[in-house]
């Protein structure tokens, strides 16, 4: 099980300070939301930020590409130092190729599904993925409410992976995860928990510790 604070909720004027607090609190990986102003309206981080982050933390950087042309970005983010890269199935017509390209760069590869995208969109390529990122909100913004239908959906995916020889493929949950609902996501089969507004505010290190305790870490 891994706790992944989302940098989207950090204070961008004090990114180094917040990243050090995430480290101190026991984060396992750092979630980096890359938005292109096209797949989703906001524009966030580019590869330059990933390069800069590498100077202040040794935690693996989990780059979630919310972009219309992920194939154009994989190489740049891998070269910048991303450890994990995930791409949305909705905009990846050549998923096998894209996932394998991510792995050829030495990164863990993930396929992402929006809340209304059928799970089947991930099935054919799941064998080429290290993880499936199931969105529990519609992407683009932090601070949204967790969509409850995520839970049965996550259970169905976990069962499908386990019964198809893919029990090593992990499920990452992203959106609306707080200290009081994280356990539900874990019980449904998620093992990588992204949390922005639920953890990255006030005493970040203390919040991460509380999250770890909430899920029995």
The residues that are catalytic are: 33, 174
User: What residues contact residue 158 under an 8 Å CB cut-off, 6+ apart?
Assistant: 171, 188, 189
Binding of ligand DX5 by 115 (CB under 6 A): no
User: What residues contact residue 167 under an 8 Å CB cut-off, 6+ apart?
Assistant: 161
Residue 17 Cβ vs ligand DX5, minimum distance, rounded to whole Å:
18
Binding of Zn ion by 88 (CB under 5 A): no
Select from 58, 52, 64, 67 the least CA-distant residue to 29: 58
Among 90-98, 119-127, 175-183, 208-216, the segment contacting ligand DX5 (CB under 6 A): 175-183
4 token code pair: 């992944």
Closest to Zn ion by CB, 137 or 164 = 137
What are the phi and psi torsion angles at 84 (to 5°)?
-125, 140
Binds ligand DX5 by CB under 6 A, chosen from 31, 88, 153, 158? 31
User: What residues contact residue 115 under an 8 Å CB cut-off, 6+ apart?
Assistant: 135, 136, 137, 138, 147, 149, 150, 153
**Chain residues 138-197 in contact with Zn ion, contact rule CB under 5 A:** 174
Alpha helices in the chain (DSSP H): 15-25, 47-54, 74-80, 95-104, 120-123, 150-163, 182-187, 204-214
Q: Which listed option, Zn ion, ligand DX5, none, makes contact with residue 195 (CB within 5 to 8 Å by class)?
A: ligand DX5
Closest to ligand DX5 by CB, 104 or 145 = 145
Binding of ligand DX5 by 60 (CB under 6 A): no
Binds ligand DX5 by CB under 6 A, chosen from 143, 148, 167, 187? 143
Q: Rounded distance, CA 109 to CA 116, Å? A: 22
Binds ligand DX5 by CB under 6 A, chosen from 25, 60, 70, 198? 198
- Rounded to 10 deg, the angle between the 15-25 and 204-214 helix axes is 30
Binds ligand DX5 by CB under 6 A, chosen from 28, 130, 170, 174? 174
Residue 119 Cβ vs ligand DX5, minimum distance, rounded to whole Å:
18
Binding residues (CB under 6 A) for ligand DX5: these are 6, 8-9, 31, 33, 64, 137, 139-144, 174-177, 194-198
């Amino acid at each position: 099980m891994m706790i992944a604070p989302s940098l989207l909720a950090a204070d961008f004027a004090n990114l180094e300070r917040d990243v050090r607090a995430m480290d101190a609190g026991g984060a396992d990986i750092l979630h980096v939301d890359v938005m292109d102003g096209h797949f989703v309206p906001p524009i966030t981080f580019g590869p330059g930020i990933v390069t800069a982050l590498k100077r202040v933390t040794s935690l693996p950087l989990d780059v979630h590409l919310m972009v219309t042309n992920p194939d154009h970005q994989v190489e740049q983010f891998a070269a910048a130092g991303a450890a994990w890269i995930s791409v949305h199935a909705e905009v990846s017509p050549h998923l096998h190729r894209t996932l394998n390209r991510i792995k050829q760069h030495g990164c863990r590869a993930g396929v992402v599904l929006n809340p209304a995208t059928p799970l089947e969109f991930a099935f054919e390529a799941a064998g080429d993925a290290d993880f499936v990122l199931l969105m529990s909100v519609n992407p683009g913004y932090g601070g949204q409410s967790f969509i409850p239908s995520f839970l049965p959906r996550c259970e169905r995916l976990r069962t499908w992976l386990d019964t198809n020889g893919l029990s090593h493929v992990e499920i990452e949950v992203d959106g609306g995860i707080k200290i009081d609902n994280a356990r539900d996501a874990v019980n449904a089969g998620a093992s990588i928990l992204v949390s922005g507004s639920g953890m990255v505010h006030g005493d970040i290190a203390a919040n991460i510790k509380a999250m770890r305790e909430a899920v029995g870490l």
